[in-house]
Amino acid sequence: MRADDVKRSILAAAACAAAASMTACGGGDDSRPAVTVGDLPAGVHMVSTGNADQPTVGRYYASADGKRLLVLEDDHDAASLLLRRPGGGSPWVAVPEPQADLDVQFLRSQAVAAATPALPALAGRYVVRLSDGSAADFRIGTDGRLTAGTLSRCQLSGTLAAGALPGTLSATLAARDCPGLPASATGVLVQDPSDAPAALRLLADDGSRLVDLRGYGEPGA
C-alpha cells in the first residue's frame, strides 16, 4: 500500500476510535514537562493520535536499539511537533517544548515499507521554501556534503551520513541568513512518496525550534 493511501486509511480508522489519546496535564515540581510516547516495534509506522474526531497524523521511526523519532503534522502536512529519544534508557524530548506534561498515545498505527535513501542517488541541486515564502537552494554531493547555492541570501550547508533510524540518513545542518531556521540543527533526511512532488525532506531541530524542509529538484542536476 502506498504511503499516502496508508495515511488516508489511518485518518479514516482514527475517526472511529472511541476517545482521544494525546493528553496534556499540569506539570509537577520538575522544571521541564515530562514527555511520554507510546512504544512501537522497530521499523517505520504511520500513526494517528489526539482527538478521535480530528486526529493528528504523523510518522514514527524506531530502531532496534531503542532510538525513536516521531514527527506529527498539522492540517497542511507540515511538521508541528517533533519528539525524539536517543536511546532506550533516555527520556523523550519534544520540540517545541510543551507547556505541560505530554503523553502521546496512538489511536492507530500501521507499519510501512521505507527504503533508506542512497547518497549517490541524492546527488544534485535542490530548492527549498522558507517560512517567509522565499526560496533557497543547496547541492548534495556524492560524499554527503551539502553546499549552499546562490539562489538567495540564505546559505544552507551540512553533512549527510548513514542513519541510525530505519528509512533515514542522519543530517547535520547549518544555516545563515535563513528566515525561520536556527543557525544549526541535527536530524534526518527522509524520502517518502507521500511528500511528492518533493524529492526529499529534512526534519531536524536545535532543541527549541524544528526544521521541516522539502527539497524540490532533480538528482544529478
What CATH number did the domain enclosing 193 receive?
A: 2.40.128
- Do 7 and 83 reside in the same domain of the chain? yes
pTM summary value? 0.85
- Do 77 and 136 reside in the same domain of the chain? no
- Do 83 and 124 reside in the same domain of the chain? no
Expressed as residue numbers, the domain containing 84 is: 3-112
- Do 127 and 96 reside in the same domain of the chain? no
Residue 24, classed as helix, strand or coil, is strand
pLDDT at 125 over 80: yes
User: Between these two residues, 100 and 219, which has the higher pLDDT value?
Assistant: 100
Mean model confidence pLDDT for the chain = 88
- Do 85 and 150 reside in the same domain of the chain? no
At residue 30, the pLDDT reads 56
Whether residue 220 is contained in a domain is answered as no
- Order of strands, edge to edge, in the sheet holding 55-62? 93-95, 79-85, 68-73, 55-62, 43-50, 106-112
- Do 14 and 102 reside in the same domain of the chain? yes
Q: At which residue does the C-alpha cell 522539502 appear?
A: 214
Instruction: For residue 207, give every residue at least 6 positions away whose Cβ sits within 8 Å of its Cβ, in sequence order, or none.
Output: 93, 95
- Do 134 and 40 reside in the same domain of the chain? no
At residue 89, the pLDDT reads 85
Last residue of a domain, one of 95, 112, 129: 112
- Do 94 and 134 reside in the same domain of the chain? no
Q: At which residue does the C-alpha cell 531503542 appear?
A: 66
Number of domains in the chain: 2
Cα four-point dihedral sign 101, 168, 216, 123? positive
Confidence of residue 41 (pLDDT cuts 50, 70, 90): very high
pLDDT at 46 over 70: yes
CA 73 from centroid of its chain's CA atoms: 9
